[in-house]
Chains A and B, each alone.
Chain A
Amino acid sequence: MAKRIDVSGLSAYYGSHLAIEDISMTVEPRSVTAFIGPSGCGKSTFLRTLNRMHEVTPGGRVEGKVLLDDENLYGANVDPVTVRRTVGMVFQRPNPFPTMSIFDNVAAGLKLNGSYKKNELPDIVEKSLRGANLWNEVKDRLNKPGSGLSGGQQQRLCIARAIAVEPEVLLMDEPCSALDPISTLAIEDLIGELKERFTIVIVTHNMQQAARVSDRTAFFNLAAVGKPGKLIEIDETERIFSNPSVQATEDYISGRFG
């Protein structure tokens, strides 16, 4: 399970536009790392380079290395499809497969892998839904479409879908920004439980959320609009929010800009 991520010298482009420049950092296994920073600083773009989702955007291109334990995700013979099966992702807006039942949504990733026994499926689905704190709410309607759930339930369904395939890493791209405060709290509690098993990276616009859920926090910034985003610093969350080593970080978290 849970692996360490080691990024070195990573830059990402949209066509000829350099979106993030020369980022290096280490993400510890079984911990929550939060990315914060103003809009357009490239934190979501960076997150998407960690499971090779950046390159599915037309013109998307990546330079540099991302090591998962010792394996480079951008190595010559690495298949992005395999990478995405190892590094799961949860999106900003809940996106269950609208035509599938709740059960099939959770089972979708396993069916793609093809490596499952049919009689194991119900157990794995139940385990994943329990893991996402959704089981009690949906156990009586597993055959109903996932799109009939509330927004917060849909997002937890997406988390169940992502953890069903037992990924090494779970990426979350502003997973609560489309949710109400109570659903947000449910997801934050869940993140706390999931970090026992997974390496979690979360992008958030909400600095209180970063402070609540993460062990380490990375602050991204950009010099000006149109300039590439850069990693300013990464440190223990407590330190970032009390005594950051860079002035720009302090200005951002104290609300002086962004």
Chain B
Amino acid sequence: MASTTPIDKPPAPPVALKRAGTKSGRVGDKVFLGLSRGSGILLLVIMASIAVFLTYRASIAISKNEGNFLTTFDWNPAGDPPVFGIAVLLFGTIVSSVVAMAIAVPVAVGIALFISHYAPRKLAAPLAYVVDLLAAVPSIVYGIWGALVLVPYLEGPNLWLDQFFGWTYLFDKTEVGVARSLFTVGILLAIMILPIVTSVSREVFLQVPRMNEEAALALGATRWEVIRLSVLPFGRSGVISASMLGLGRALGETMAVATVLSPSFIISGHLLNPGGGTFAQNIAAKFDEANEYGRDALIASGLVLFILTLLVNGAARLIIARRKEYSGANA
């Protein structure tokens, strides 16, 4: 920048500064700001209107309900007097989802670790693709497969579980009947949420900074110890988010559950017994033949599912936030 200009001469305003102030640049900014702000507001409006709709219709239904909405083991909004309650649905939804999570999360983390840290590169890419393909199967296909293949196939294993683990109460099969149980539903849901939990976990594991892994390696860590010291702690909050995404899908899954479960309005801790119900399955099964009031009752149960999902997501965020100080983000 050698210049012969005397120091006291005021410099001419640079051309670049003038350009930045032209109108076209500002318009682009405004359009983009409007678009993104609009999208954000739209999302809030949609959520709020769903909540208002659910609450309004639910309040109509609950005000006429002669039974206790939370504790009644029955669903008869068309009766005289109308009696219905969500106890069985809440129980069935939570139990089938918990079974699904208990099976899917460890398996998904295992697959994700295998793809990201163990598999040779030639195998990793096709394997990841196959797992993602699982997500492309429509849920009704899972339902048909579950009813035609899984249910008859599980009869043998169910007997085995009953015989050897009957003492746990959970696996005590006290009723004769095919495996159209909450446990079977849980297994099916586990397969359905496997791809989303796997692919999100895999992405997180791949993002572990190289230097974090080398820190463990240089201390003399084996491959498993590297995963335990560096990969899993870094990926923890990601795996939690992935699990919550999966849980959200499991809680709301409709067709597959409706196809497999033989619904009944009982609560039983014996998971292998046929029967039970979930919110989404119950709505799908009853919505068509319900009258106006029956539909309001179903919407009331939908409101509970909505709240349940909100609570689950809130809890996940709390867990992630509490671990923030220790997360890899501030490394």
Question: Which residues of A are in contact with B by a Cβ distance under 8 Å?
Answer: 51, 53, 56, 58, 81-86, 88-89, 91, 93, 95-100, 108-109, 112-113, 145, 147-148, 158, 161-162, 165
Contact A113 B220 (CB under 8 A): yes
Interface assignment of B236: CB less than 8 Å from any CB of chain A: yes
- Name the B residues within 8 Å of A85 (CB-CB): 219-220
Q: How large is the interface on B (under 10, 10 to 19, 20 to 34, 35 or more residues)?
A: 20 to 34
Given contacts A51-B218, A84-B217, list 15 more A-B pairs with CB under 8 A: A84-B218, A84-B219, A84-B220, A85-B219, A95-B215, A99-B323, A99-B327, A100-B326, A108-B216, A108-B219, A145-B326, A147-B330, A148-B330, A158-B215, A165-B219
A108 to B219, CA, bound (A): 8
Contact B225 A99 (CB under 8 A): no
- Name the B residues within 8 Å of A145 (CB-CB): 325-326
Interface assignment of B211: CB less than 8 Å from any CB of chain A: yes
Contact A93 B218 (CB under 8 A): no
- Name the A residues within 8 Å of B221 (CB-CB): 81, 84, 112
Question: Which residues of B are in contact with A by a Cβ distance under 8 Å?
Answer: 121, 209, 211-212, 214-222, 225, 229-230, 233-234, 236, 323, 325-328, 330-331
Closest approach, in angstroms, between the C-beta of A212 and any C-beta of chain B? 25
- Name the B residues within 8 Å of A161 (CB-CB): 219
Contact A97 B229 (CB under 8 A): yes
Closest approach, in angstroms, between the C-beta of A229 and any C-beta of chain B? 21
12 of the cross-chain contacts (CB-CB < 8 Å) are A53-B214, A53-B218, A81-B222, A83-B220, A84-B219, A86-B220, A88-B218, A89-B218, A91-B215, A95-B211, A97-B212, A113-B220
A3 to B242, CA, bound (A): 48
| Nearest B-chain residue to A109, judged by Cβ | B219
- Name the B residues within 8 Å of A88 (CB-CB): 218-219
Partner of B331, one of A58, A147, A158: A147
Contact B325 A148 (CB under 8 A): yes
A113 to B219, CA, bound (A): 9
Contact B220 A112 (CB under 8 A): yes
- Name the A residues within 8 Å of B215 (CB-CB): 91, 95-97, 158
Closest 8 CB pairs of A and B: A85-B220, A99-B233, A89-B218, A98-B331, A84-B220, A109-B219, A95-B215, A95-B211
- Name the B residues within 8 Å of A53 (CB-CB): 214, 217-218
